[in-house]
Amino acid sequence: MSNVNIIVNGFSYTGWTAFDINASVKDACRSFSLQLAEMDAQFWALEAGAACQVVCEYGLLVDGFIDDFAPSFAQSSHSIAISGRSKSCDFVDCAAIYKKGGFKDKDILEIAIALAEPFDVLIESDEDLKKIPKFQINQGETCFAAVERLAKQQGLLLIGTAEGGIDITRAKDKRHAGSLVEGVNIVSAGCTFSHANRFSEYIVKGQSKKNSKLKHKEEDKQIKRYRPTIIMAETDMDAKRCENRAKWNKDRAAGEGTRANVTVYGMADNGGKLYEPNHLIYVSSQSLKIEQDMLIEAVQFGKSMSGTLTQLTLVDPRAYGGEKQQTSKSGGGFG
**Tens of pLDDT along 249-299?**
999 899 999 999 999 999 999 999 999 999 999 999 999 999 999 999 999
Going by C-beta distance under 8 Å and a sequence separation of 6 or more, which residues neighbour residue 270? 176, 177, 178
> Mean pLDDT in the chain?
92
Percent of the chain with pLDDT over 70: 95
Q: Domains, the chain, ranges and CATH?
A: 4-86 (2.30.300.10), 91-169 (3.55.50.10), 175-194+257-320 (2.30.300.10), 201-256 (3.30.1920)
| Contact criterion met (CB below 8 Å) for 33 and 19 | yes
Which phi and psi (to 5°) does residue 315 adopt?
-150, 150
pLDDT band at residue 28 under the 50/70/90 scheme: very high
pLDDT at 1: 54
Query: What 3-state DSSP class applies to 93?
Result: helix
**Tens of pLDDT along 174-208?**
999 999 999 999 999 999 999 999 999 999 998 87
Closest CA to 248 of 145, 139, 171: 171
- Report CA Rg, the chain: 22
Structure letter (DSSP) for residue 319: G
pLDDT band at residue 333 under the 50/70/90 scheme: very low
**Tens of pLDDT along 65-119?**
999 999 888 887 788 999 999 999 999 999 999 988 899 999 999 999 999 999 9
pTM: 0.86
